[in-house]
Amino acid sequence: MVKKILIVFAVLVVLGLGTGAGIYFTYLYPFMQKMKHTETISYDKQLTLVIGGGGNSGILVSDSAVLVIDTKIDEPSSQQLYNQVKQLAGSKPIIVVNTHIHTDHTFGNKLFKGQTIIAGGNYDKDIWSKEDGVESLPTVWVKDSLVVNIGDETVTILNLPFSAHTQSDVMVYLHNRKMLFGGDVILNHQSPILLSRYNADAYGYLNAFDLVEKRFDIAKVVPGHGPVGGIEVIDNYRAFFKDMKTASTADAATEKSLLDKYSDYTQIPLLMSPSAAENWFKSNPAK
Ligand SMILES: [Zn+2]
């Protein structure tokens, strides 16, 4: 879906606006290239992180089962991830977790046919099929949270009880590694996409940061997009949302300085930018 939106958006800006080509080459083209690029990190003996190629993924291997977090965006990255998983998993059962419904995180689901695919329970079969197609349907819907033991790791799969990036965002916490996979509720140096058709709620992001910091002892953060980091990834993103909220009611000079603070964030004008986030707060004040 995100890709569809980007393509429509690209066509619109190129056709509709005089500055379209500039926006395309300054923002959109580099963004699409960045989206495609992948990097594999062998984090430890059991855990592999595959950064980029759509949403960031994790592969956690044990003697009895393999956990995969998010299945990436179209070809070739989803197929590459699948090959990596098969190489690590052999014939062991695979449990896939989708952090949310967007196809940059779910496109490869169809490759994992016959395996367990877990997603947030505020979605259902109808909503999911319309968005992603029946072939990528999850098999398990988590309403609150689910704890799974994978080898020596205890994994909590948490469905947020409120909307943030979408109406059902899932985060995955690895207790022994103190590592949180944040999905697109936690991005590193990238502006969020807040779309009403997914019930996006910027206040939900702020609530989510508080919730996971209270609930989990977090040392490592794997964001939905951007590089892996520590707890500061969450704190930076909280500051971003608070600043955009402040900017939405501030005088012009303060507003500009707050927006300028995040000029190095990966962004696409109007759709995915600091001012788009600020505009969300302008449209949804005093909550
Ligand atoms: Zn994403």
Ligand 1 centroid – CA 180 distance (Å): 16
What pLDDT, on the 0 to 100 scale, is given for residue 259?
97
Q: What's the full length of the chain, in residues?
A: 287
Q: Where are the domains of the chain?
A: 2-283
With a cut of 70, which residues of the chain have pLDDT below it?
1-20, 23, 287
Give the Cα separation of 152 and 162 in Å (integer): 31
DSSP 8-state class, residue 24? I
Ligand 1 centroid – CA 106 distance (Å): 9
Ligand 1 centroid – CA 254 distance (Å): 30
Ligand 1 centroid – CA 32 distance (Å): 12
Residue bearing tokens 């019930």 = 199
Ligand 1 centroid – CA 151 distance (Å): 28
For 2-52, the pLDDT digits (tens) are 556 556 666 665 556 566 677 677 777 777 777 778 999 999 999 999 999
Ligand 1 centroid – CA 103 distance (Å): 8
What pLDDT, on the 0 to 100 scale, is given for residue 74?
83
CB of 135 within 8 A of CB of 157?
Answer: no
What pLDDT, on the 0 to 100 scale, is given for residue 26?
73
Give the Cα separation of 163 and 201 in Å (integer): 6
What pLDDT, on the 0 to 100 scale, is given for residue 35?
74
Ligand 1 centroid – CA 63 distance (Å): 30
**φ/ψ (deg, to 5) at 149:** -100, 125
Ligand 1 centroid – CA 194 distance (Å): 12
Ligand 1 centroid – CA 184 distance (Å): 5
Ligand 1 centroid – CA 284 distance (Å): 23
Ligand 1 centroid – CA 29 distance (Å): 17
What is the token pair recorded at 223?
């964001």
CATH class of residue range 2-283: alpha beta
What pLDDT, on the 0 to 100 scale, is given for residue 144?
96
Ligand 1 centroid – CA 15 distance (Å): 26
For 140-170, the pLDDT digits (tens) are 999 999 999 999 999 999 999 999 999 999 9
What pLDDT, on the 0 to 100 scale, is given for residue 2?
56
Ligand 1 centroid – CA 224 distance (Å): 6
Ligand 1 centroid – CA 152 distance (Å): 29
What pLDDT, on the 0 to 100 scale, is given for residue 241?
98
